[in-house]
Amino acid sequence: MCKFRLILYLFQIFRKKLFMNTKHHMTINCRGTLVDLSKPKIMGILNLTPDSFFDGGNHNSIDAALVQCEKMINEGADFIDVGAYSSKPGTEQVSEEEELKRLLPTFEKLKYEFPQALFSIDTFRSKVAALTIDRGAALINDISAGTFDSEMLTTVGKHQVPFVAMHMQGKPATMQQQPKYKNVVDEVVFFFSKKIKEAQAAGINDIILDPGFGFGKTKEHNFELLKQLETFQCFDAPVLTGVSRKSMIYKTLNIKAETALNGTTVLHTVALSKKAQILRVHDVKEAKECIDLLEALQ
């Protein structure tokens, strides 16, 4: 065990002893709505892109987006994560103007039709974040954790919404070209330790950690992160897991993303057993069944 991991391990033991007699309820404040994460929550994926890896083009009209959003809400989604920039491996860059053109008209309609829903915006651009927060977005989900846009953390801090910080090695266009780590868990932990300090300095009160499955990681890296997912609880911040229909499932099973729902449910069960607080999913109904069954078991 390396020195860093040993220090982390001892810190976790100390925390458990210090709080062992205290029932801890983790909450995030979404524009005045306190969301209790003592029971895991579901973030439904709503891609407005023509080229996302699983559902690209399925929901990139206003009517189709409304139908899918209503379906996910009815099935039990706690958040709806709206994205207009595909970050699948090898994707080409989309301009800020194109992202806003895809996003704003649909988001405004979604917010009008579902005023009580908690919408997350999947973007790494501070201007997109600011414009959508002004229109009612409750969270910002940044695949770069604020590293692609130097104004992102300040913008989120100013608007006082929760921030999902995801770890990624490289950029979407090149991230899967031979990603390398000495120890993937240690390096992601170290990344989060820095990002949490930066976010707090920028005035962000609620930060959510996403290890970034499939973003600059090999299949082996992904499974090692999932195996040790509970390690990230050391930060006392919610952990979001995004494995839905990803290549770590369909490449392992030699199937396609379209038939990877069963594998997704298996890995969701593993993630929940390792204390994940939020599941980011394409299939809300099945994810909720997974959560409800595990709750009944406990």
Q: Is 135 annotated in the active site?
A: no
Helices 126-134, 152-159: crossing angle, 10 deg rounding: 20
Residue tagged active-site, from 71, 280, 285, 288 = 280
Helices 126-134, 96-113: crossing angle, 10 deg rounding: 20
Locate tokens 């414009």: which residue?
Answer: 131
CA distances to 85, 93, 96, 99, 156 from 102, in Å: 9, 14, 10, 5, 21
Residue tagged active-site, from 246, 274, 275, 288 = 246
Residue 272 tokens, joined = 């929940």
Query: Alpha-carbon distance 73 to 47, whole Å?
Result: 15
Instruction: Name residues whose C-beta falls within 8 Å of residue 220's C-beta, 6 or more positions apart in sequence.
Output: none
Instruction: Name residues whose C-beta falls within 8 Å of residue 23's C-beta, 6 or more positions apart in sequence.
Output: none
Beta strand 163-166 with 207-210: parallel, antiparallel or unpaired?
Answer: parallel
Q: Is 3 annotated in the active site?
A: no
Q: Give catalytic residues, as residue numbers.
A: 246, 280
